[in-house]
Chains A and B, each alone.
Chain A
Amino acid sequence: MATLRRLFDRCYPALVRFLYRRLGDRDLAEDLAQEAFIRLVREDPERPEGWLFVVAANLARDAHRRDFRRARRLALLAGQQDTVAAPSGEQQLEQGETVASVRLALEALSERDRTLLLLHEEGVPYRELARAIQVKESSVAPLLNRARQRLLRRLRGGNHAAPLDAASA
């Protein structure tokens, strides 16, 4: 139990942060982080930290798909084909243009890019990233690099912003 507690103290905040950034919903983030820990206890994996994040990424992906389908159904019901999903309570609390633009930039990325970037931000190593997005470990660096460039372009307000290595030109 002490080992689990240490792991929990070390990883739970990072898991919640990852899931919150990924989904934009605090309660859901906490629920899924807890679910990841419950599965960890059940399965007792060899490398628990990376395992937790891979499971959390899968849970987030499933939740995001459910949320997307629900939003689309609601939009259809409301007769608004192009409606963007209504902001959650958490999202409404996020004040400021910066936060909103970051969230928009993240949402504009592909599922894989988002997962890679956000997991790596939490210190998840390449090996586990490869597992999370189901690619070879050697593919992680170029994929991560491209994901960073796409996000930076979005953050800088366009699709044609200077690439990362412009300084070297």
Chain B
Amino acid sequence: MPHHSTPHPPESLLVALADGESSGFGRAGLLLHLAVCRRCRGRFIAIRAGKRAIREALAPLTIPARSADAWARLILLHTAPNPGRIPAAMLGLAAGVLLLVALARALAPREGPTAEFLAAIERLPTRPDLGDAPPAREARQDSRFIAQLLALTHTGAAEVMRDDCCDDHDGEGPADDGIFAARLPEARLALHVMYDDADGTRTLSPGDLVRSVSRSTVDAQASTGGVPPLLATSSLAHVTLLHASVLNP
């Protein structure tokens, strides 16, 4: 026979009380009950002891948070993808920086063709007949020349006008023939490369085989809207090419 008239509260109410989740009359009623019921007081004390034991057990699993770094990253991530939220002053600063970068790039000397590259081009003959172009079996790897040419297009010193790949231009075999044309405005030259797409990238790349290289002057191409006359057709039968033997004598 209990020594009080109120029923014992369920465990969940005592847990909520220990967790600070009780309020109002419910809390007052529980506290009143605990004041008079030794059994429930013991239950409540055990719940709190369990909470304390867990807190103590978890305490070693703690690391100091690197808040300063995290805040900086958060601000960066927060502002970068959403320009609408960037303050006007920050936008102005960003615009200024971009302008300075653009100016610096415009004023900086561009990386042009190397002396070696230009000398090699200078030695190229111009416009021989197709019959002078080497057969496919004599195509050779000249990755250094191709890499130099492609590097120039990246720096802006050369402009790619056309890269036709791939077709059986020479009628000798598989459709792996490519024709590449680039203009070097400062040298007033255009280069035309016939290659075999050896690495299958379907564009001129250092892994390809060079069959021939020719040059022409920029002025000669102006009348055709930038497309060199000798590349006006993709058929090699109508294209005049040179064997770039001077590049690898």
A90 and B62 CA atoms in complex are apart in Å by 11
In contact, A120 and B19 (Cβ under 8 angstroms): yes
Chain B residues near A53: list those with CB within 8 A.
Answer: none
Which residue from chain B places its CB closest to the CB of A121 in the assembled complex? B58
Compute how far the CA of A14 lies from the CA of B77 in the bound complex, rounded to whole angstroms: 21
CA distance in complex: A151, B65 (Å): 26
Q: Which residues of B contact A (CB under 8 A)?
A: 11-13, 15-16, 19, 21, 39-40, 42-43, 45-47, 49-51, 53-55, 57-58, 60-67, 70-71, 73-74, 77-78
Contact A26/B63 with A34-B74, A38-B77, A126-B19 known, Cβ cut-off 8 Å: yes
Q: Does A157 contact B (CB under 8 A)?
A: no
Please give, as numbers and ranges, the residues of chain B lying within 8 Å of A164 by CB-CB distance.
46-47, 49-50
29 A–B contacts, CB within 8 A, in A order: A8-B70, A9-B67, A12-B65, A12-B67, A13-B65, A20-B61, A30-B66, A34-B77, A37-B74, A41-B78, A94-B60, A99-B60, A102-B61, A117-B54, A118-B58, A121-B54, A125-B21, A126-B19, A141-B12, A141-B15, A141-B19, A145-B12, A145-B15, A151-B57, A155-B53, A155-B57, A164-B46, A167-B43, A168-B46
Beyond A17-B62, A155-B57, whether A168 also contacts B39 by CB under 8 A is: yes
Q: Is the interface of B mostly helix, strand, loop or mixed?
A: helix
Binding site for B on A (CB under 8 A): 5, 8-9, 12-13, 16-17, 20-21, 26, 29-30, 33-34, 37-38, 41, 90, 94, 96, 98-99, 102-103, 105, 117-118, 120-121, 125-126, 138, 141-142, 144-145, 148-149, 151-152, 155, 164-168
Most A CB contacts (10 A, CB to CB) among B16, B39, B74, B77 go to B74
